[in-house]
Structure 1
Amino acid sequence: MHDQATLGFIARHNLWTPQQQAAADAIAERVRAGEFTTVRVSVADPQGKLRGKTTLPKTFLSTLTNGLDFSSAQYNFDSGENIAFNPFTTGGSLDMAEMEGFPDLVLVPDPLTFRELPWAPGTGWVLGDMYFNDGTPVPFDARHKLKQVVADLESEGLHYVAGLEVEFYLTRVVDPKLAPADSGALGMPPAPPVVETIGKGYAYQSEVQMDAIDDFLTVVADYADKLGMPLRTMEDELGPGQLEFTFDVLGALEAADTMTLFRSMIKQVSARMGLHATFMTRPGLPGFCASGWHLHQSVSDRDGINLFPAAAGSDDLLSPLGRHFVGGLLEHASAASVFTTPSINGYHRRRPYSLAPDRATWGHDNRAAMCRVQGGPGDPTSHIENRIGEPTANPYLYLGCQIAAGLDGIRRELDPGPVEADPYSATDRPKLPVTLMEAVDELKRSEFFRQTFGNIFVDWLLGLKASEIGRFLEAEPDWEHNPDVVTEWEHREYFTKY
């Protein structure tokens, strides 16, 4: 039996399961055998982007025992690295003594996420969770929040699975804009690169277009396989260089981790090839239409049996449990908008007749509905595709709000009402927020999400969004005169980093 004083941080606070400890032991053997020159230890920031430190083998072995010291600064930054909360005030502007003065936190790696990065031979990578020095979870770490709602769902004997369907743009860099004057500052992102398209647009699912970038697609497919990502398909979308990738189903945490690493992989690999990839919803470039992130989801029992299909021969599209899950998604759709569509730019999707939803609706295989039911009575693959999200969304919050809302629908037996044949004309259905400002107001009033994620978390997130919105309104005071135009501020804010 170990003396508590001699145990490392992770063991002392019992932060790993036996499965994680066994995985860590196996990783340590590989590190000691000299398989890795460096290991990147990463964490998803409030926007879902990866931040991390590159460790040498000896340091990483220590990290597997004690975690890694890591600055809390990311929790003070909004979408453009503006300091939204002054850390040098009492409580760090967050009424939390633990956040005063940009203190160090402890980043604890999750050994189950460990990979070798195929584009950087000899480089290991692991994703982690943030803790205070007393071993308590940092309440602003969205990965913790997702794990909490997953545990709540599983306490009911239910298991959630998700299939990712995400769109993004691939462009060719003409001028990377690397002059010192273009480097940006806190609250002022770097000047976006000057780019050209990789091909003509509006040739939906063109095989010729895909062949033109076969070198990129082949490399990405190979890397995804090596990383254990269940990539299914890659296709050409509407805009010039707009691509859609789909993935087979995964558990909630695995799906969120996959999306986080996938976005980072795409940006890193494209940069190495002289390309620029962006998950910004609608870049401020001529002819570029909006991208989306559609989330396919269903719930199964402990034996893995899908609980969404209606009985064979039924007149219903979904089982009662499936209908209640949809009812919860519709009930909380507006309040969840900050989680599903967190950027100013993302609301360019919220337009009627745009292949994106503008109201909280559901329908059968109808791409105008928010919740599109795929499958039917007796079909064991029946599931919901929620089409509300944007590609920049934080994966842990997007999936977390879906699970929480759906579970609330199940517990309260919420009825989603009849399916809509013409969702854009369903004026009896609630209209979704069409700006981030409206979405913030909805979340501010949501007692449900305050109970789900906690007041501290919700108020902190609202503070980050207030900073982002404030900078936008200061830079673009006349934006409402032509709300369909992507502003210069939006392009600079999101095109490079997202």
Structure 2
Amino acid sequence: MASFVERHGLWGDDQRASAAELVARIDAGEIETLRFAFPDQHGILRGKTLVAAEAKGALSDGVNLTTTLLLKDTSHKTVFPVFNSGGYQIPGMQGASDFTIVADPATFRVLPWTNKAGWVLCDAYSTDGQPSPVSSRQIMTRAVNELDALGYEFVAGLEVEFHVFRLDDPNMALTDSGQPGTPPTVSLLSHGAQYLTEMRYDRVDDVMELLRVQLQALGLPLRSLEVEFGPSQFELTFSPTVGLAPADLMILVRSAIKQICYRAGYHATFMCRPRIPNVMSSGWHLHQSLRSKATGQNAFVPQVEGADLSPLGLQYLAGLKTHACGAAALASPTINGYRRYRPFSLAPDRAVWARDNRAAMLRVLGGVGQSATRIENRVGEPTANPYLYMASQLYAGLDGIARQLDPGPSADVPYETQAELLPRSLGEALQCLRNDACLVEKLGPGFVDYFCHIKEAEIARFNLDVSEWEHREYFDLF
């Protein structure tokens, strides 16, 4: 009987060749377990680990999982009714039915921190072989294909900020269980306010070396390791990759860093603004450009001296600016992330662009004769689902190209320029997304409703809790 992959024509020649190579490595005894992982709606990896003998067949037959994995908020609570006939439901997911994840064999990696374990990234499909309508990787694939039809490739480089703490107590007592459970107790690896000092870097060299060795062994295009401004805050940068690869890279980077650190007695977090004294918010700066498939050349490089971008680059830039508020919920999808947007903080607070200015949301770099001409979007937080964030950038930029939009002049004083303010809360950002007709059409109206429903469930849970600020402010006064 034909496999799931064969029946539905899900692999090309390159993927079939990669799968054959992987099976050969399993047969040679190099791999004893294989992790089948797919990125969920939050950009969190989920899946199953199969022993080698079972993994070979699962490569082409797929792995079945329960659809409730696609219906959860960040506390892992299922926020859609699946066992009754009323309320908001997703077609095909009633009764906690199955869906199938299928490996993309070209993404195979050997995990260097564990014993003979492989890892492969998967796409989500309905059991009839159709791409899952809520699969974030499939959504970005559509955007990449739309760009491909115009003769261009998406090129992106990553700058990722995060925190690493010493893990003092994982808080695994019975009373610490919950949904979510009690977060770990941690302490600092370094004080803040010594941005890029060599002495500070040397004091955390053991952590940096741990990450460098393992990430390079994983085959990731690591460029630099840096001490950021905040206490126990770090930044890694990665060389540009093409198409889906930048999002695949970000997914693996986050998961790998957390696993590597935990095994060594550290706690790594990509939470934007942890609740620690003197904290600095972490951002994710996305450098992006388009490359001509015909010539292999950067399509953003201007040909006129003094110009910031090519005409195509300016149109793409205008699209990013036009849809900045609509895309905000995908760039910053947590309640916590909106604590970062404030003036004079190296984080943007309004939809403007500027030539090499870190206060602007969109920072343009490069110029005539420079192959690395690009747009740096500084709006994202490192928790963002990279497929949704990058898809929003592609769809926004493509709209700018289609309508030949003009981004207007550079904002030389971004925090003083009169411009549309970015959303100040997740709730406001979700409303902006719902109101952005272009993004709703491209992402799919059903997907936007689904995404907003999950995020609104998180906001509702947040609003049920009495915060420490409220208790301190009112308990004694009234």
Same fold (TM > 0.5): yes
Distance of 2:276 and 2:168 partners within structure 1 = 14
Gaps of 5+ in 1: 1-5, 484-498
CA distance in 1, matches of 2:435, 2:175: 42
Which secondary structure does the structure 1 equivalent of 2:123 belong to? strand
Secondary structure of the corresponding residue to residue 335 of structure 1: helix
Out of 435, 458, 482, the position equivalent to 2:448 is: 458
Of 458, 462, 469, the match for 1:468: 458
Q: Tell whether the 8 Å contact from 2:160 to 2:236 is kept in structure 1 after alignment.
A: yes
User: SS in structure 1 opposite 2:155?
Assistant: strand
Write the distance in 1 (CA, Å) between the matches of 2:32 and 2:115: 9
- After the TM superposition, which of the residue ranges 70-79 and 105-114 deviates more from structure 2? 70-79
Kept in 2, the 8 Å contact 1:37–1:122? The answer is yes
- The Cα shift of 1:218 comes to 1.5
Letter in 1 for 2:331: T
Equivalent pair of 1:159/1:304 in contact (CA under 8 Å): no
1:480 to 1:257, Cα distance in 2 relative to 1, 3 A = farther
Give 1:242-321 correspondences, 5 Å limit: 242-302=233-293, 303-313=295-305, 315-321=306-312
* Mapping for residues 92-107 of structure 1, pairs under 5 Å: 93-96=88-91, 98-107=92-101
Q: What corresponds to 1:383 in structure 2?
A: 374
**In the alignment, which of 204, 225, 229 is matched to residue 234 of structure 1?**
225
Task: Report the equivalent of 2:208.
Answer: 217
Where 2:449 maps in the other structure, the secondary structure is: helix
Distance 2:88 2:111 in 1: 38
Q: TM-score, normalised by structure 1?
A: 0.92
- 1:451 and 1:107 map into 2 onto residues whose CA distance is 25
Alignment-derived partner of residue 161 in structure 1: 155
* Paired position in structure 2 for 1:396: 387
Instruction: Give the SS at the match of 2:100.
Output: strand
Please say if residues 76 and 86 of structure 1, whose CA atoms lie closer than 8 Å, have aligned partners that are also in contact.
Answer: no
- Give the TM-score taking structure 2 as reference length: 0.96
Q: Which deviates further from its counterpart, 63-72 or 240-249?
A: 63-72
Instruction: Give me the CA root mean square deviation.
Output: 1.6
SS of 1:198's equivalent in the other structure is coil
C-alpha displacement at 1:207, in angstroms?
A: 1.5
Show the counterpart of 1:355. 346
1:25 matched to 2:17? The reply is: no
- 1:443 and 2:436 correspond: no
How many correspondences in the alignment? 472
CA distance in 1, matches of 2:151, 2:128: 32
Is the Cα contact below 8 Å between 1:11 and 1:65 reproduced in 2? yes
Q: Taking structure 1 as reference, are residues 208 and 112 closer, same or farther at Cα in structure 2, changes over 3 Å only?
A: same
Give the AA of the match of 1:89. N
Contact kept, 8 Å, 1:92 with 1:100, in 2: the verdict is no
The 1:422–1:480 alpha-carbon spacing in structure 2 relative to 1, beyond 3 Å, is farther
How do 1:119-130 and structure 2 match up within 5 A?
Answer: 119-130=113-124
Q: Secondary structure at the match of 1:452?
A: helix
Among 170, 181, 191, the residue aligned to 1:176: 170
Residues in 1 aligned to 2:251 and 2:197: alpha-carbon distance in whole angstroms = 28
Q: CA deviation at 1:89?
A: 2.3
Q: What secondary structure is seen at the aligned counterpart in 2 of 1:326?
A: helix
Shift of 1:138: 0.8
What do the CA deviations read for 1:394-450 (whole angstroms, capped 9, x no partner)?
0101111101101110111110000011011012x1111011011011111121111
Distance 1:91 1:70 in 2: 24
For structure 2, list consecutive stretches of 5 or more residues without a partner in the other structure: 474-478
State the shift of 1:477 in Å.
Answer: 7.0
Aligned to 1:147: 141
- 1:85 matched to which residue of 2? 80
1:241 CA displacement:
1.0
Name the counterpart of 1:341.
332
Q: Note if contact 1:82-1:467 (Cα within 8 Å) is conserved in structure 2.
A: no
Tell me, yes or no, if the aligned pair for 1:43 and 1:50 is still in contact at 8 Å: yes
Q: What do residues 106-130 of structure 1 show as CA deviations (whole Å, max 9, x unaligned)?
A: 1101100101100013001001011
Whether 2:58 is the aligned partner of 1:63: answer yes
| Separation in structure 2 between the aligned mates of residue 205 and residue 423 of structure 1, nearest angstrom | 25
Paired position in structure 2 for 1:406:
397
Q: Deviations over 1:127-157 (max 9, x none)?
A: 1011111100111110000000000011001
Q: CA deviation at 1:75?
A: 1.3
Residues 92 and 99 of structure 1 are in contact (CA less than 8 Å); yes or no, is this contact kept in structure 2?
Answer: no
Offset at residue 482 of structure 1 (A): 11
Shift of 1:252: 3.0
Give the drift of 1:215.
2.0
User: Partners in 2 of 1:477 and 1:241 — Cα distance?
Assistant: 25
CA separation in 1, counterparts of 2:451 and 2:468? 26
Task: From 163, 173, 182, give the equivalent of 1:191.
Answer: 182
For residues 204 and 97 of structure 2, the distance between their equivalents in structure 1, rounded to whole angstroms, comes to 45
Q: Distance in 2 between matches of 1:368 and 1:480?
A: 32
SS of the counterpart of 1:218? Answer: helix
Task: Note the C-alpha offset of 1:208.
Answer: 1.6
Structure 1 SS opposite 2:395: helix
Query: Which SS does the other structure have where 1:334 is aligned?
Result: helix
Cα 1:194–1:161 shift into 2, 3 Å: same
Distance 1:126 1:180, change over 3 A: same
**Alpha carbons 2:68, 2:93 under 8 Å: kept:** no
